[in-house]
Amino acid sequence: MTAIIFDLDGTLIDSAPDIHAAVARVLAREGLLPLTFPTVRGFIGNGVPVLIDRVMAARDIRPDPVMRDHLIARFLEEYGPASTDLTALYPNVRPALQSLQDAGHQMGICTNKPEGPARSILAAFGLLPFFGVVIGGDSLGVRKPHPEPLTTALAMLGGAPALFVGDSEVDAETALAAGIPFALFTEGYRKTAVADLPHLHAFSDFAALPALVQKITP
């Protein structure tokens, strides 16, 4: 059966409201004004360190490794206990995962979110049992769009014929680099037109995913 590996933020969960709220709390603790929701939403996808780099640039904070590490730590401190306050599953995610599991497919997560928070969020929504592996942005020495997180997740699932499901430019680039077919969820955090992102299939509702997988399964 096919090994199906999913991105998390913008794919299975709409986490932008909680990420925005955590960034606002961090900035408030530093005596700085908050950033708008669309601005922070546009920063999501490359992991926490890049998120903080973009926040620092947006608030004209001088690049400094000590300050960067300080803000990363503060963000994780603010985000961890409140990572599901405003976050929601996208419609039909749970029944789609159940259908895929019932069909015998192995599933994993490959995200740039740190592994600990990713596991906590999956557990909070009751999704963790669906996934045989969770690779986070801090699980390896590299993160997406480097192909190693995705290929590692695939190897841990047994190296079956694979499909990567994601929502963004980072995910499309990762799949291309890994040589793994990509299914694009169009309702996430991408900034590029669907036609301009390399993908095997695109879908806007998770209710369509089981039939899509059945169509492409060898």
Number of domains in the chain: 2
Q: Is 159 exposed, middle or buried (0-12, 13-18, 19+ CB in 10 A)?
A: exposed
Please say if 7 is a catalytic residue: yes
What is the per-residue pLDDT across 72-95, written as a single tens digit (0 to 9) for each? 999 999 999 999 999 999 999 999
pLDDT value at position 215? 87
What is the per-residue pLDDT across 172-190, written as a single tens digit (0 to 9) for each? 999 999 999 999 999 999 9
Please report the sign of the dihedral spanned by the C-alpha atoms of residue 201, residue 188, residue 163, residue 98.
negative
pLDDT band of 218, cuts 50, 70, 90: low
pLDDT value at position 159? 84
Kindly name the residue from 7, 14, 167, 171 that is annotated as catalytic.
Answer: 7
pLDDT band of 160, cuts 50, 70, 90: confident
Q: How far apart are CA 140 and CA 124, in angstroms?
A: 24
pLDDT value at position 217? 72
Phi, psi of 175 (to 5 degrees): -60, -40
pTM score of the predicted model: 0.94
Same domain, residue pair 127 and 172: yes
Task: Tell me the residue range of the domain where 38 lies.
Answer: 16-82
Domain end marker among 38, 55, 82: 82
Which DSSP category does 147 fall into?
S
Same domain, residue pair 101 and 155: yes
For residue 117, give every residue at least 6 positions away whose Cβ sits within 8 Å of its Cβ, in sequence order, or none: 76, 79, 80, 83, 136
Round the average pLDDT of the chain to a whole number and report it. 96
CATH of the domain at 181: 3.40.50.1000
Question: Residues 15-38: what's their mean pLDDT?
Answer: 97
